[in-house]
Structures are given as structure tokens and as C-alpha cells.
Amino acid sequence: MTRAETIEYIKTNCYGEWCKDDWRNAMDMAIEALKMIDESKTADVVEAVHAEWVDKGEDYVLRWSCSNCGRKDTHIYNFCPDCGADMRGSTDEI
Ligand SMILES: [Zn+2]
């Protein structure tokens, strides 16, 4: 859902005759609509950035390093906890 669609959604669903008597309900719907924007933003970021875990070797305590932001970690994740890059498929161990 785009921002314009969300605004249209709020206008259509939150400014009807019924909501004059139920403003709180309308606010709930507006908040729900804003959450949808946040979710679609997050999805866009995750799709846009791809990176991989760089293996520093077993001698390092923080063995894995994100090739996008340089975050170091003892574990590997499907998504970098710092920059949110999609790390899936970067190693065979996931
Ligand atoms: Zn990262």
C-alpha cells in the first residue's frame, strides 16, 4: 500500500458519517493504516540491500562480518541486525 493509497483509505474509511459518533474507532483505523506504511517501507529496504557474511576464520571471536555495513558477530543471521541487508544464500551454513 502506497502513502497515497493509505491517505485515500483514511479518507474513505475514517471520515464517513458513522465516525462522528465513534472518533476513537477512526483513530484506530488511521494508526493501523500508518503501520501498513511502516511495514511496506521495511520490506522495500530488505529487498533493496543484499550482502553476505564474510568469514574471518575460527580464530576470531567475532568470526562473521557483514559485507555491507561491517557489523561483526559470533552468529550469522538471514538479515543483518544492523543494516537489515538480506544475507540469505551468502553461505552454505544458514
Ligand atoms: Zn550489515
Distance 42 CA to ligand 1 centre (A): 15
pLDDT, average across residues 65-71: 96
pLDDT of residue 52: 95
Core vs surface per residue 68-81: b (16+ CB within 10 A) or e? beebeeeebeeebe
Looking at the predicted structure, is the pLDDT value of residue 45 above 60? no
Distance 70 CA to ligand 1 centre (A): 6
Starting at the earlier edge strand, list the strands of the sheet with 72-73. 53-55, 64-66, 72-73
pLDDT of residue 46: 46
Distance 64 CA to ligand 1 centre (A): 11
Nearest to 38 by CA among 87, 1, 88, 79: 1
Asked whether the whole model's pTM tops 0.75, one would answer: no
pLDDT of residue 12: 74
pLDDT of residue 32: 80
